[in-house]
Amino acid sequence: MSEFLKITVMLGGPSAEREVSLSSGVAVAAALRSRGHEVFELDPRETGWTLPPGTDVVFLALHGTYGEDGTVQAALDQLGALYTGCDAEASRIGFDKVLTKERCVTHGVPTARFAVVESETTPWLRGWNPPVVLKPVCQGSSVGLQFVERVADWPGALEEALRHDSRVLVEEKISGRECTAGILGEETLPIVEVRPKAGIYDYKTKYSTGTTDYLCPAPFDEATTQRVQAAALAAFRAIGGRDYARVDVMVRANGDPVVLEVNTLPGMTETSLLPKAAAAAGINYAALCERMVKLALHRK
């Protein structure tokens, strides 16, 4: 990208993932400045924010509600502003785990069996066997995630999950290898396998240093790699995604991929999973940030 641009990085915001978003945004702003661009940082924590005059493009480094659920995208659309990542509708679908699942089912994308629960007095689901996973429907970054290994654990886990949202996704727990596939433009990046050193990959292990091993490219055989990447791309297209995303996938022992969810605004710290995948493809962090801006500019 030869021209120098006026870029506004939106970071922070009002969600439960504010701190991670601030880290993402600060790293992105520094990277874009290193490439010669004029960069402003805008924290939409309060309503009534305005874009700096002359902004060429907005880089969205927001996570969680408001930033990832289509709200800020709709506001930017009203302003006629160019911004990075998925549009308002794809963001809304991607942030809602149930809508994402329904799109996957409709488009034949492999995903885990699921149900939706809205009351903490709901008894154990008939026809289901443990273990299951409980996820607040509209929260990111493993916020409120609960694993239920025994029926006796159901009431407490359900109560905890419902503290974070009015609806909870109940999902069969897939045993296998956990991985994530980044998408940039129309290409899938090398897969990252996530191996927590102890227990599960939850909010704590996700953001604590040294608790998880990341293998990239993931050590799958070529056929499995292609199936995982194809499933990730199909899920991205099923929600109507554009520009980039990160798709979380479980891989069963027989190599079958099972899509968990689509992250339309994935973490963008230098150690986040999408930048790790890009680095394995030979795209350094600053070049990745600039590529994301370029994808937005193509829509001009």
At residue 70, what are phi and psi to the nearest 5 degrees?
A: 100, -10
Rounded Cα–Cα distance for residues 200 and 208 (Å): 13
- Is 48 among the residues known to form the active site? no
Q: Which of 15, 21, 141, 272 is catalytic?
A: 141
Angstrom CA distances, 193 to 101, 220, 226, stand at 22, 9, 14
- Is 102 among the residues known to form the active site? no
Q: Which of 68, 96, 261, 290 is catalytic?
A: 261
Rounded Cα–Cα distance for residues 191 and 16 (Å): 27
**SS3 call for 53:** coil
Number of helices and strands in the chain (H, E): 9, 13
Q: Which of 23, 144, 177, 207 is catalytic?
A: 207
Residue 118, number of CB atoms within 10 A of its CB? 11
- Is 267 among the residues known to form the active site? yes
Q: Which of 18, 227, 242, 246 is catalytic?
A: 246
Q: Which of 69, 92, 267, 290 is catalytic?
A: 267
Instruction: Answer for the pair 86, 40: CB distance below 8 angstroms, yes or no.
Output: no
Which residues share a beta bridge with 61?
Answer: none
- Is 261 among the residues known to form the active site? yes
Rounded Cα–Cα distance for residues 164 and 169 (Å): 12
Q: Which of 13, 15, 17, 144 is catalytic?
A: 17
At residue 48, what are phi and psi to the nearest 5 degrees?
A: 90, 10
Q: Which of 56, 248, 272, 290 is catalytic?
A: 248
Angle at 150 between CA 214 and CA 261, to 5 degrees: 40
Write out the H or E segment, with its range, that includes residue 179: strand 177-184
Query: Three-state secondary structure along 227-295?
Result: HHHHHHHHHHHHCCCCCEEEEEEEECCCCCEEEEEEECCCCCCCCCHHHHHHHHCCCCHHHHHHHHHHH
- Is 248 among the residues known to form the active site? yes
Q: Can you read off the two tokens belonging to residue 131?
A: 């273990």
- Is 222 among the residues known to form the active site? no
Give catalytic residue positions.
17, 141, 207, 246, 248, 261, 263, 267
